[in-house]
Amino acid sequence: MSTSDRPGPAEVYLGLGSNLGDRAANLWTAIAHISRIPGCHLERLSPIYESDPVGPVPQGAFLNAVAALRVRLQPLDLLKTCQQIERTMGRRPSVRWGPRLIDLDLLLFGATELESAELVLPHPEMWGRRFVLLPLLDVVASDRLRRRVRNHLYRLGTAQVVHRYDSTMDGATATAGPPLRTGQQSAEAGSA
C-alpha cells in the first residue's frame, strides 16, 4: 500500500452497510478489520441506523453507520483494502443494489476529488441518501462540512425513512463491538 505520496493523514469518511445475516455483527466485524489496516486510524463511529433498501431489488432493511478515519493511504489503496475486507467477510458479486452481507463505501477522502473507473470521490450518490447523511452528520469534524450535510438533509426531506437502530428490539449485537464510543473519539485517538 502506498503512503509515500500523501504528506499527512487525510480525514476519510467511510460508509458501512449490511442487510444479510446478523447485520449489526457484520458492521462490528468490518470495523474490527478496518481498525487493523496499517496507516488507518479509526477516530469516530456513528450510531447505527436502519433504513429500507434503495433500488428495485426486493430485500430486507439495511443497517448503516459511518466511520471517521485518519488515513495515510492513497484513495485507491484504501478502496482495494476495503474490497478485500468485504471478500474476507464473505461478500460475493451480486446484482446492482442487491442484498449485501457487508458494503464499505468511501464517501469522502479529505478534499480529494477523483473520477476513475474504480473510484469516484466524493461518493457520487451520497448527497441523495438520507441513510448516509444522518450517520455522517454524527461524526463530521468540520463546521463547514456539517452545514453542507444539514443542507442536503433539508433538501431531501423525510421521504426516505431512516431511524436509529435499537438492538434491544431484536436481540442483535449492535451494542457489542470494539471499545469505541459512538460519536466520540476512541481511547487510542489521543496517543496516535
103 included as an active-site residue: yes
Catalytic residue from among 23, 44, 72, 100? 100
Catalytic residue from among 44, 91, 129, 130? 91
72 included as an active-site residue: no
Q: Which residues in 44-79 are b (16+ Cβ under 10 Å) and which e?
A: bbbbbbbbebeeeeeeeebbbbbbbbbbbbbbebbb
Q: How far apart are CA 65 and CA 45, in angstroms?
A: 7
The grid coordinates of residue 80 equal 482495494
**Do residues 123 and 68 touch, judged by C-beta distance below 8 A?**
no
105 included as an active-site residue: yes
92 included as an active-site residue: no
Catalytic residue from among 105, 129, 130, 138? 105
Catalytic residue from among 23, 44, 103, 130? 103
Q: How far apart are CA 4 and CA 142, in angstroms?
A: 26
* Residues marked as catalytic: 91, 100, 103, 105
